[in-house]
Amino acid sequence: MRVLIVEDQVLLRDGLTRMLTAYGFDVTTTGADGGGLAERLVAARPDVAVVDVRLPPTFTDEGLRAAVAARRARPGLPVLVLSQYVERLYARDLLADRAGAVGYLLKDRVGEVREFVDAIRRVAAGGTVMDPEVVAQLLHRPDTVDSLTTREGEVLRLMAEGHSNAAIAARLVLAEKSVNNLINSLFAKLGLAPSTDQHRRVLAVLSYLDRR
């Protein structure tokens, strides 16, 4: 799997390269700034790009804007964006095209190696991966979750992070049928149409929570 890394911090960029190479990824291209990045992403056509939100020269949102522009030019181009802080606007901008193959993680997650590698693979496969801290902030709103039971709230959080029903069942030590029932119940309470497509249901949940 070909991975393109764009990160201005040398130690993190080199660390990511070494780590992903050790897990069998082919890190074909790296970069350190946002200049012409959208064009480079489109031209390189990586299996997945790992891009820092804030890049030189202004260290604001060059990486994000390049990722969004590249995905407009090539819908569904797999991009996993890394950020130092939780910024909900970035998550919304990335999800706007609803094309899947996108992720938003905090840089702290890089230290959780197995989960980080799994997130890269899910994005490359067309899935949607959201940082648990982003999801937690979206869920920390009484008007959104008042109608949900504690267990439904746990399922919603894991579902919004991009986990499958089977993975949710394993994490919560429940039967998969019980998870299916909980999802149907919480979707009904939130006024969302049930969906078997992992990407679409993640987007539906996040879109609902973000507009509350």
Q: Which of 7-11, 60-64, 188-192 has the lowest mean pLDDT?
A: 188-192
CATH of the domain at 154: 1.10.10.10
Whether 95 and 37 share a structural domain:
yes
- 31-66 tens-digit pLDDT: 888 888 999 999 999 999 999 999 988 888 889 889
| Mean of per-residue pLDDT scores for the chain | 85
- Residue that is last in its domain, among 130, 147, 173: 130
Structural domain containing residue 206? 135-210
**Per-residue pLDDT at 20:** 96
Comparing CA positions, the residue from 113, 200, 95 lying closest to residue 192 is 200
Report the chain's C-alpha Rg in angstroms. 17
Q: Which residues contact 103 (CB under 8 A, 6 or more apart)?
A: 79, 80, 81, 119, 120, 122, 123, 127, 128, 129, 130, 162
Whether 142 and 202 share a structural domain:
yes
Q: Which of 133-137, 164-168, 197-201 has the lowest mean pLDDT?
A: 197-201
Specify the DSSP class assigned to residue 125.
T
Neighbouring CB atoms inside 10 A of 164's CB total: 15
Comparing CA positions, the residue from 56, 36, 42, 57 lying closest to residue 4 is 42
Whether 83 and 162 share a structural domain:
no
**Per-residue pLDDT at 143:** 57
CATH of the domain at 15: 3.40.50.2300
Whether 15 and 105 share a structural domain:
yes
Whether 157 and 87 share a structural domain:
no
Confidence band of 3 (pLDDT split at 50, 70, 90): very high
Domain total of the chain: 2
Alpha carbon 200 to its chain centroid, in Å, reads: 13
Whether 18 and 113 share a structural domain:
yes
- Residue that is last in its domain, among 85, 113, 130: 130
The one-letter code for the residue type at 138 is L
Whether 25 and 104 share a structural domain:
yes
Q: Which residues contact 78 (CB under 8 A, 6 or more apart)?
A: 46, 47, 48, 49, 101, 102, 123, 124, 126
Whether 57 and 102 share a structural domain:
yes
Between 145 and 38, residue with greater pLDDT: 38
Give CA–CA dist 91/182, Å, rounded. Answer: 26
Whether 177 and 205 share a structural domain:
yes
Confidence band of 140 (pLDDT split at 50, 70, 90): low
Q: Average of pLDDT values for 161-171? A: 88
pTM strictly above 0.85: no
Q: H-helix or E-strand containing 171? A: helix 165-172
- Residue that is last in its domain, among 93, 110, 130: 130
Whether 103 and 175 share a structural domain:
no
Whether 155 and 197 share a structural domain:
yes
The one-letter code for the residue type at 109 is R
Q: Which of 26-35, 65-74, 140-149, 164-173 has the lowest mean pLDDT?
A: 140-149
Whether 18 and 88 share a structural domain:
yes
